[in-house]
Copies of this chain bind each other. A is one copy, B any other.
């Protein structure tokens, strides 16, 4: 399983990815899923991948080595893109072609689906963030919902919806992102540390921070404990449900068995 998260904020971009892959639950490995490409101070292209590892690894390599782009008919390479949007386009075409090649050769039913988050900027371009689908199409992140997720996204989405806004500070967003991972890791053991992170600040054509959070990381452990404690404390302080009293005021017996079980009480 995979969980990748990109957050596009007023001050820049935060990208995160776990590193756990599996070919069946009995075959777990650690692979890098967040790659920071680009030439320092000229461009930064952060690529996070989910889905078939054979598809994403080869597709990214194709885009790096150069491939013939539709419409232009020219060979284009990731290190020559004029804008980050073209990097998302090129990577989308690379995934599309790679998936197509595999599927032609494989037995029916094998899945080569893959998706990417592509974020960053070229030159003095303000960072942008895209989600690239297996068909090569992509969507862009905007300030109304300042994040994009791929992979195992549901466990960690509510905390983003409640705590993250476009105005959130970059390192506060990184903290919220880690809590989103922490929530996911508690409920799905196929996502786990190490977690790779990257922070890109507006106006810098490079990653201000790239880091791998290893298992046993002290700060992550601190967040984990604080999250559990504060959640339990908050819930305990909330008032009890009033419904027993409400039902008592207008008592109704348990419904008897009868042929129409869907009638309103």
Using CB atoms and an 8 Å cutoff, list the residues of chain A in contact with chain B.
Answer: 31-32, 35-40, 44, 47, 57, 60-61, 64-65, 78-79, 154-155, 157-159, 161-163, 171-172, 174-176, 178-179, 183-184, 186-187, 197, 199, 206-213, 219, 222-223, 226-228, 230-232, 234-235, 237-244, 246-247, 252-265
What residue of chain B has the Cβ atom nearest to residue A208's Cβ? Answer: B244
> A21 to chain B: closest CB distance in Å?
11
How near does chain B come to A51, taking the closest CB pair, in angstroms? 15
**Given known A-B contacts A171-B244, A227-B234, A244-B171, A157 and B39 have beta carbons under 8 A apart:** no
Tell me which of B39, B178, B253 contacts A40 (CB under 8 A): B253
In the complex the two chains form, what is the Cα distance from A255 to B205 in whole Å? 12
B175 near A35: Cβ-Cβ < 8 Å:
no
Q: Check if A64 sits within 8 Å of B261, measured CB to CB.
A: yes
Given known A206-B254, A240-B171, contact A232–B163 (CB-CB < 8 A): yes
Query: How many copies of this chain does one complex carry?
Result: 2
Per a CB cutoff under 8 Å, which of B65, B155, B175, B243 touches A211?
B243
A and B contact pairs by CB, cutoff 8 A, 26 listed: A32-B263, A35-B255, A37-B261, A38-B256, A39-B257, A44-B254, A57-B261, A57-B262, A64-B257, A155-B155, A158-B158, A158-B183, A158-B186, A158-B187, A162-B228, A162-B231, A163-B231, A175-B238, A179-B235, A206-B253, A208-B244, A210-B254, A212-B265, A226-B238, A227-B234, A230-B234
Contact of A261 with B60 in the complex, beta carbons under 8 Å: yes
B residues near A158, Cβ cutoff 8 Å:
155, 158, 183-184, 186-187
A257 to B38, Cβ gap below 8 A? Answer: yes
B57-A241 in contact (CB<8A): no
Would A241 and B262 count as touching, CB distance under 8 A?
A: no
Kindly state the separation between the CA atoms of A201 and B209 in the bound complex, as whole angstroms. 54
Report how far A246 CA is from B209 CA in the complex, Å.
10
Q: Which residues of B contact A161 (CB under 8 A)?
A: 186-187
A262 partner residues in chain B, CB cutoff 8 A: 31-32, 35, 57
A173→B105 CA distance, assembly (Å): 53
Contact B256 A210 (CB under 8 A): no
Docked Cα-Cα span, A263 to B36, in Å, equals: 11
Inter-chain contact A257/B78, CB cutoff 8 Å: yes
In the bound complex, how far is the Cα of B238 from the Cα of A159, in angstroms?
A: 15
Query: Known contacts A161-B187, A206-B254; can you find 5 more A-B pairs with CB under 8 A?
Result: A35-B262, A64-B258, A155-B157, A158-B187, A209-B247
